[in-house]
Amino acid sequence: MRGGLSAEAEQLYLALLRGERAGAGAALEELERVGLTRGGHVRPPRSALAAIASEHEVAALRARETAEVLARAYAGRGGVDSDFVEVLGDAGEVIAAFEEMQGQAKTEVRALDPGSYLSPQPEASPAQPPALARGVAYRVVYESSLLQDPQGFASVRQSIAVGEQARAFPGVPLKLVVADSDRALIAVPTVAGGNVVALLIHPSVLLSALIELFEAFWRMGVPITAGGQDNVEAEPTLATHRLLSLLSAGLTDESIARELGVSDRTVHRRVSRLQQLLGAQTRFQLGVQASRRGWL
């Protein structure tokens, strides 16, 4: 269940909450497997959500371990001599390669961004707007701590405003850029500091591994919207915690409204706000994101 619950299983779970009957099928089997139903009867989703969140954490640990192996490989780059690896030891050379990759990209640029090694905030690339204008898609996973800095978040907002898709995840291990599936650039600061070394990777098993590394962090990341991070630090309030607890127990909007003494419309509005805040497209995803953050 690397990507969470399937859309079919999620819809079936919601239908069962409304009292509808379910026949046999793959969606029901999936719900049984993750513990959301037992014998066709709905169960509270809290434990299943916690299990999914734990599984994401395990995937994150494995991804970081892979990143450390790669980092050790290019830290000892003195012996690197391969047709598919170019060592870039000059900061100007690294920047030029980064800009060239974006300029030549045809379909997509993917990146992991722990922030600039020469400044604490992520920095918008001047090559990004022209690439987006000609139809190149951008997907970037940012180190979540960068978004707590107003200047850093402003830079991310600027990129989102011109068309970038962005997600956040804690512990992004290295700076990575992948152009289409043709080239990747990985960069780290030198041991002594004050400079950056990088490897330009051409098609190879290593390039495939780097693409998988990006996709693992993309699956685990929380989507960022232009205003989506503003109020995260103020949460969860007592009202939010109670609402999430009722949702995780499987109550309908009508039941939650009665419990809280508010209207159904108010419940819907509060849930929609939390979905936007955490970048969740569905209520089930909201539960996963809230569980991952320790809000449940």
- One digit per residue, the tens of pLDDT, for the chain of length 296 reads 344 567 788 788 878 877 777 676 888 888 887 778 877 777 777 666 666 666 666 666 666 666 666 555 555 554 444 568 888 777 778 788 888 898 899 999 999 998 765 444 456 678 888 888 889 999 999 887 777 677 777 788 888 888 899 888 777 888 899 999 899 998 766 555 555 568 889 888 888 888 988 998 888 777 776 654 445 556 678 888 888 888 877 788 888 888 888 888 888 888 888 887 776 777 877 887 777 677 77
Distance CA 142, CA 169 (A): 6
CATH class of 62-224: alpha beta
pLDDT tens digits along 185-199: 987 665 555 555 688
Give the containing element (helix H, strand E) for 196. Answer: strand 196-201
The residue to which tokens 């000609």 are assigned: 134
Region of residue 34 (phi > 0: left; psi between -120 and 50: alpha; otherwise: beta): alpha
The two most distant CA atoms of the chain are separated, in Å, by 69
What phi and psi, each to the nearest 5 degrees, are found at residue 207? -60, -45
Q: Write the CA distances from 258 to 84, 177, 239, 246, 296, integer angstroms.
A: 63, 50, 14, 11, 21
The per-residue pLDDT for range 94-139, each reduced to its tens digit, is 788 888 898 899 999 999 998 765 444 456 678 888 888 889 999 9
pLDDT for position 139: 95
Write out the residue limits of the CATH 3.30.870.10 domain(s) in the chain: 62-224
Per-residue CA distances from 178 to 113, 147, 159, 207, 264 (Å) = 12, 22, 17, 9, 46
Between helices 46-75 and 26-34, what is the axis angle to 10°?
Answer: 80
99-102: which pairs have CB atoms within 8 A and are 24 or more residues apart? 99/125, 99/126, 99/127, 101/177, 101/179, 101/183, 101/185, 102/127, 102/128, 102/131, 102/136, 102/179
> What is the CATH number assigned to the segment(s) 231-296?
1.10.10.10
Q: Return the H-helix or E-strand segment holding 282.
A: none
24: Cβ–Cβ under 8 A, 6 or more apart, which residues?
none
Mean pLDDT of the chain: 77
> From the CB of residue 239, how many other CB atoms can be counted at a distance below 10 Å?
12
CATH 1.10.10.10 range(s) for the chain read 231-296
**CA 214 and chain centroid, separation:** 10
CA 269 to each of CA 197, 202, 244: distance values in angstroms, whole numbers, following the listed order: 49, 48, 13
Do 165 and 139 contact (CB within 8 A), yes or no? yes
Is the torsion defined by CA of 113, 114, 118, 124 positive or negative? positive
Q: Which two three-digit tokens encode residue 39?
A: 């014998």
- CA dist 66 and 173 (Å) reads 10
